[in-house]
């Protein structure tokens, strides 16, 4: 993987695993000219890699984190991208149809890395994932499983999505899943 210059102190294991997976599986998960939305982008590492792999990226996170995200995306994709990445705020479970209307927000891939951790917004996260995934959208989710709460979320996730474990990274204690919304 190329050397990145990130303005932050810590990159999550799930982001590292998902980036490695995307880079090593470009034939199966071709990002070139695909519309990709990242949920909970954090430092933007996954969005940076997807952008460098040719995707039309929309990186999302909480409003107060967007400055750092925008800087990292710009700095690390300049001269290496086919498409200008976009940064947008997304608060899980809030104003989804207003900010990301189902009729116009169609994505080839939704990506998420280490979005499940000890917090009280897991219901809103699942609602957001379901809203953003339309027929044909593939959700690729990587997560380090730390607590029982993580496994409880995985159980709820499997009730909403047809999910498949793609790979495990034992050294990072991380699993990568591919999922599509179950038919209604």
pTM as predicted: 0.92
- Is residue 10 very low, low, confident or very high in pLDDT (cuts 50, 70, 90)? low
Integer-rounded Cα Rg, in Å, for the chain is: 15
| CATH no. of 13-181 | 3.40.50.150
Per-residue pLDDT tens over the stretch 140-167: 999 998 888 888 899 999 999 999 999 9
pLDDT tens column, 76-105: 999 999 999 999 999 999 999 999 999 999
pLDDT at 9 over 50: no
Would the pLDDT of 6 be above 60? no
Q: Which of 59, 56, 106, 60 is nearest to 81 (CA)?
A: 56
Task: Give the chain's mean pLDDT.
Answer: 91
Q: What residue spans of the chain are helical by DSSP H?
A: 13-24, 45-52, 66-77, 96-99, 122-132, 148-160
């Amino acid at each position: 993987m190329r050397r990145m210059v990130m303005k932050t102190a810590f990159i999550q294991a799930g982001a590292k695993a998902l980036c490695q997976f995307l880079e090593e599986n470009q034939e199966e998960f071709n990002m070139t000219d695909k519309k990709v939305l990242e949920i909970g982008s954090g430092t933007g590492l996954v969005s940076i890699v997807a952008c460098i792999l040719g995707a039309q990226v929309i990186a999302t996170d909480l409003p107060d984190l967007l400055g750092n995200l925008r800087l990292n995306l710009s700095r690390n994709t300049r001269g290496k991208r086919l498409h200008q990445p976009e940064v947008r705020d997304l608060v899980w479970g809030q104003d989804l149809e207003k900010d990301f209307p189902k009729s116009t927000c169609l994505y080839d891939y939704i990506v998420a890395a280490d979005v499940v951790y000890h917090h009280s917004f897991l219901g809103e996260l699942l609602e957001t994932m379901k809203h953003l995934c339309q027929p044909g959208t593939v959700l690729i989710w990587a997560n380090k499983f730390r607590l029982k709460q993580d496994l409880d979320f995985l159980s709820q996730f499997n009730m909403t999505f047809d999910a498949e474990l793609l790979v495990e990274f034992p050294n990072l204690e991380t699993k990568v899943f591919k999922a599509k919304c179950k038919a209604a």
